[in-house]
Amino acid sequence: MTILLNPAEPVRFVAPGQEKTPEAERIVYLLKAPTVWDRIAHERALSERGIRRHTVLDLLTRARHVAGKALEARPGSARQSVLQGLDDYEAALRKLAASGHLPEKAQMAAVDALLQIETAMAGVFDLIAHHDPVFATMRADNLVYAEASGIAAAQRFLTGWQNLPLAFSATAEGIDPALLLRLPREHVIAIGREVERLLLPSETERKNSFSPSSGGNGRTGSTAGKTPRRTSRSQPTAGT
């Protein structure tokens, strides 16, 4: 379900790091307000291009599946240690996912614990990737997903920008990829995350989209001189 927006008005997305810049100088990207059909078309485009993201749990499941073969030259105690490490990683990941309602200090402790295990397991994942092409491909997919999905999102939803020293131009197929190369990489990634947020809003955002202020019918009305929606969010939704 998408956030209900007025399709006639662009969504204003403030570029990362520009929140405190004077408004007259602030870099803002204008995005097409997505519909449910846009979501389907976007997901299809990602699939056709082979752009996919695997959850950490998917990676752990595959790692467990092939760990025995990858570590067959290691002593039994070493193999057991690695398998225990995979179990600890999953436990830390689930603890982090369940920490959203906890105080900030507890959340940060869960993040630190996960990062420590990730660092300790990096070499093991490299070894497994060396022995298993499927696991290696999954890691490679995740490595490029943020930028690749950002490029695809910008091509489909970017309709203009403000305060960039570039002339915006696009065809029926969307913005020229050569023009995208001239945008800051972190901006392209952030655009992809913002489009993802618009296409797959949180539970709170879904409820707000049906708030009484929208007239009680779930639609955003259009009035002359109305200021377009403005947002600066660029953080991805955490997933497992």
> What pLDDT does 224 receive?
35
> What pLDDT does 112 receive?
81
Largest CA distance in the chain: 73
> What pLDDT does 216 receive?
37
Is the alpha carbon torsion for 16, 22, 23, 24 positive or negative?
negative
At 80-115, the pLDDT tens digits run 788 888 888 888 888 877 877 778 887 788 778 777
> What pLDDT does 4 receive?
52
> What pLDDT does 203 receive?
54
> What pLDDT does 124 receive?
82
Token pair listed for 101: 């309602």
- Those residues of the chain that have pLDDT short of 70 are 1-7, 70, 73-77, 201-240
Number of residues that make up the chain: 240
How big is the CA angle at 31 (ends 28 and 37), to the nearest 5 degrees? 165
> What pLDDT does 25 receive?
95
> What pLDDT does 7 receive?
64
Neighbours of 105 (CB within 10 A): 8
